A = this chain, B = another copy of it.
Amino acid sequence: MDPPVSLDVQALTFDVFGTVVDWRSGVIREGQAMLDRPDWPEIADKWRGLYRPTIAAVTAGERPWGSFDELQLVMLEQVLSEYGITSLTDAQKMELSFVWRRLAPWPDAAPGLARLKERFVVCALSNGSIWQLIQLARFGKLPWDSVFSVELFRAYKPDPRVYLGAAELLQLQPSQVMMVAAHVYDLRAARSNGLMTAFVARPHEWGPNGAAEVPEPNEFDFVAENFVDLATQLERA
């Protein structure tokens, strides 16, 4: 697709879980280290699968606002109960729920961000909490200019307040901000609020056999294979 003739974007905001970090491998590894079972890949997917309906319930007002840390623990207890896992102590469950602070970045993420940061302000814009995002950045040496969380707006993505709130904090027009994500629902919401959009493919987010998200043709401003590819494309734009 042809890039816009003159790119006025000054800041890039990034989805984090799935787009920057590989949650699935981390959850499986820590789960397995805590309790030896063959089905951690499935448990990981179920746990992550509860995420969208749970935050949708917050957005719909059916569930009170809770931080992502709190919601992760609630969802973990739900999935452990579904699998009949009763041997973990409360402290263990709490510890496992903190895995969302200790997830490795995809290999291209940190070097790609460093290149993108040369020209653009780069900020996380995630459903994760500020504290999770800070810990993830320290864990993976992610060179953010700053981390923005939905908790600043008390609304989860894809609520418009998240995208418009980030642009306001950046003192930019929405069109001067580009959302980068591996999830079309996030980018569609960003686009409908006036942000530029870049889709980055993460075909292994849900494991080797997981379904890869595929955007419609020309749906987003940029489509990249990874962060390094995105940097290359934006350097030419």
Residues of A within 8 A of B (CB): 67, 69, 121, 123, 129-131, 133-134, 137-138, 144-147, 151-152, 169-171
> Is A170 within 8 A of B131, CB to CB?
yes
A123: chain B residues within 8 A (beta carbon) = 134
Give CA–CA (A137, B147) in the complex, Å: 13
Give CA–CA (A171, B69) in the complex, Å: 10
A144: chain B residues within 8 A (beta carbon) = 146
> Is A169 within 8 A of B146, CB to CB?
no
A121: chain B residues within 8 A (beta carbon) = 134, 138
Measured CB to CB, the closest approach of chain B to A127, in angstroms, equals: 15
> Is A151 within 8 A of B169, CB to CB?
yes
Would A130 and B69 be within 8 Å (CB), given that A145-B138, A147-B146 are in contact? no
> Is B69 within 8 A of A131, CB to CB?
no
Give CA–CA (A121, B170) in the complex, Å: 22
A67: chain B residues within 8 A (beta carbon) = 171
A130: chain B residues within 8 A (beta carbon) = 146, 169-170
Measured CB to CB, the closest approach of chain B to A144, in angstroms, equals: 7
- Chain B's closest residue to A124 (CB) is B146
> Is A145 within 8 A of B152, CB to CB?
no
Measured CB to CB, the closest approach of chain B to A171, in angstroms, equals: 4
Enumerate the 5 nearest inter-chain pairs by beta-carbon distance, A residue then B residue, closest first.
A131-B171, A130-B169, A146-B147, A134-B145, A146-B146
Sample of 4 more A-B contacts, CB < 8 Å, known A129-B171, A131-B171: A131-B170, A133-B146, A134-B145, A134-B146
- Chain B's closest residue to A146 (CB) is B147
Measured CB to CB, the closest approach of chain B to A72, in angstroms, equals: 13
- Chain B's closest residue to A133 (CB) is B146
Residue among A131, A146, A151 facing the most chain B CB atoms (10 A cut-off): A146
> Is B137 within 8 A of A169, CB to CB?
no
Give CA–CA (A145, B152) in the complex, Å: 16
Give CA–CA (A129, B133) in the complex, Å: 20
A146: chain B residues within 8 A (beta carbon) = 130, 133-134, 137, 144, 146-147
A169: chain B residues within 8 A (beta carbon) = 130-131, 151
Measured CB to CB, the closest approach of chain B to A167, in angstroms, equals: 11
- Chain B's closest residue to A69 (CB) is B171
